Amino acid sequence: MTHPEVKHGEIKILFTPDEEIGRGVDKLDMKKLGAKFGYTIDGEKAGSIEDETFSADGVLITIHGVSAHPGFAKGKMESAIKIASEIVAALPKDGLSPESTEGKEGFVHPVVMEGMVEKATVKFIIRDFTDEKLAEHEEVLRKIMNKVLKEYPNSSAEFKVTEQYRNMKKVLDKHPEVTNNAIEAIRRAGLKPDRSSIRGGTDGSRLSYMGLPCPNIFAGEHAFHSKLEWVSVLDMEAAVRTIVHLAMIWEENG
Q: What is the pLDDT of residues 69-106, one digit of tens each?
A: 999 999 999 999 999 999 999 999 898 999 999 999 99
- Give the three-state DSSP class for 195: strand
E strand map for the chain: 40-43, 48-53, 55-64, 107-115, 119-128, 156-165, 194-198, 216-218, 221-222, 230-231
pLDDT digits (tens, 9 = 90+) for 20-48: 777 778 889 999 999 999 999 999 999 99
Strand partners, 64: 119, 156
**Other Cβ atoms within 10 Å of 114 Cβ, number:** 11
**Backbone phi, then psi, for 185, in 5-degree steps?**
-65, -40
Q: Which pLDDT belongs to residue 202?
A: 86
| pLDDT-derived band at 17, boundaries 50, 70, 90 | confident
As a whole number of angstroms, the distance between CA 12 and CA 187 comes to 23
Residues 113-155 have pLDDT tens digits of: 999 999 999 999 999 999 999 999 999 999 999 999 999 999 9
CATH architecture of 19-54+167-253: 3-Layer(aba) Sandwich (3.40)
Per domain, the residue ranges of the chain are 19-54+167-253, 55-165
Please tell me the number of Cα atoms within 13 Å of 47 on its side-chain side.
6
- Rounded mean pLDDT of 180-191? 97
**Rg of the chain, C-alpha, whole Å:** 23
Give Cα separations from 122 to 35, 85, 91, 125 (angstroms).
39, 9, 13, 10
Burial class (CB in 10 A: 0-12, 13-18, 19+), 166: buried
Fold of 55-165: Alpha-Beta Plaits (3.30.70)
Alpha carbons 167 and 58: distance in angstroms, whole number: 15
The span from the CA of 167 to the CA of 204, in Å, is 10
**CA nearest to 108, candidates 119, 116, 94:** 94
Burial of 64 (0-12, 13-18, 19+ CB in 10 A): middle
